[in-house]
A and B are shown apart, each in its own frame.
Chain A
Amino acid sequence: LAKTTQPISMDSYEGQEVNITCSHNNIATNDYITWYQQFPSQGPRFIIQGYKTKVTNEVASLFIPADRKSSTLSLPRVSLSDTAVYYCLVGDPTGNNRKLIWGLGTSLAVNP
C-alpha cells in the first residue's frame, strides 16, 4: 500500500483558494487517489477521487500529474466551515480488499 506525505497544517483566510499537496511516490498502477475531510468527533467525509489528470466536483478539484506521484486538492473560496483535517489516501478501491491506510492528514485552519 502506498504511503502518503502531506503538510501537517495549513492556514488560510475566508474566500481564498487553498491547495493541499500530497506526495505518494510508490503509488501502484491500480491505485486511485482519494481525499477525505474530517471534523472533530465525526467520521470522515468523502471529498473527491481521481486516477489521473484533473477531476472536479461541486466542492473541490483534484489535480494529478502524469507521473501520479503527487496530487493536489484544491478548495475554491474556503469558508470558516472548511476548517477540518484533510486526508489523502491511495489504494485500489475496486479490489476485494479495499482497505485504506491513513496518514496524519493536513489540519486546515480558515481564519476570518
Chain B
Amino acid sequence: GAVVSQHPSRVICKSGTSVKIECRSLDFQATTMFWYRQFPKQSLMLMATSNEGSKATYEQGVEKDKFLINHASLTLSTLTVTSAHPEDSSFYICSAGPTSANEQFFGPGTRLTVL
C-alpha cells in the first residue's frame, strides 16, 4: 500500500513556542490530506482538510490561526501549532489517499508534549 510519513515522530517543547509537523506522501501524489488529533484513550478527531494550492478547510471549533496548515506540493502538507500550550499536547496524525484508491493511508503520528 501507499506510504505516508510524518516528521518528527515526537517533539517536546516549551509553552509559547511554535511546532511544525510535516506529512509526506512518499509514493503517490495527494491533492488532499487530512489532519487529525487524538487524545489518550479517545478517537481521532478531524481538525482540517489540507488542499494543495488552496486554503485548508477547518472543522468547527478548530482555530485556523493557531493550527496553520500549508499544502505546498502534491506530496507535502505541514501543520504548525503556533504558541503551543500544554492543552495542545496530543497525538497528531495525518492521512492521504491516491485519487484512484478508496482508502486513506495514515502517517505514523506525531506525539506533541508541551511543557
Contact = CB atoms under 8 A, between A and B. Distances in A.
- Say if A and B assemble together: yes
Interface in A6-22: none
Nearest to B105: A46
A94 B102 contact: yes
Contacts of B45: 102
Interface in A62-112: 87, 93-94, 96-105
A105 B102 contact: no
A29 interface: no
Interface string B20-39: 00000000000010101000
For chain B, the bracket of interface size reads: 20 to 34
| Dominant secondary structure of chain A at its interface with chain B | loop
Interface residues of B, dominant DSSP: strand
A102 B102 contact: no
Contacts of A44: 44, 93, 95, 106
Interface string A11-38: 0000000000000000000001010100
Interface of B: 1, 4, 6, 32, 34, 36, 42-46, 49, 91, 93, 95, 97, 102-109, 111
21 contacts: A43-B93, A43-B95, A43-B106, A44-B93, A45-B106, A46-B1, A46-B103, A46-B105, A93-B102, A93-B104, A94-B102, A96-B32, A97-B32, A97-B49, A99-B34, A99-B49, A100-B104, A102-B44, A102-B45, A103-B43, A104-B42
**A-B complex: 10 closest residue pairs judged by Cβ atoms:** A43-B106, A93-B102, A102-B44, A46-B103, A102-B43, A43-B93, A44-B106, A43-B109, A104-B43, A43-B107
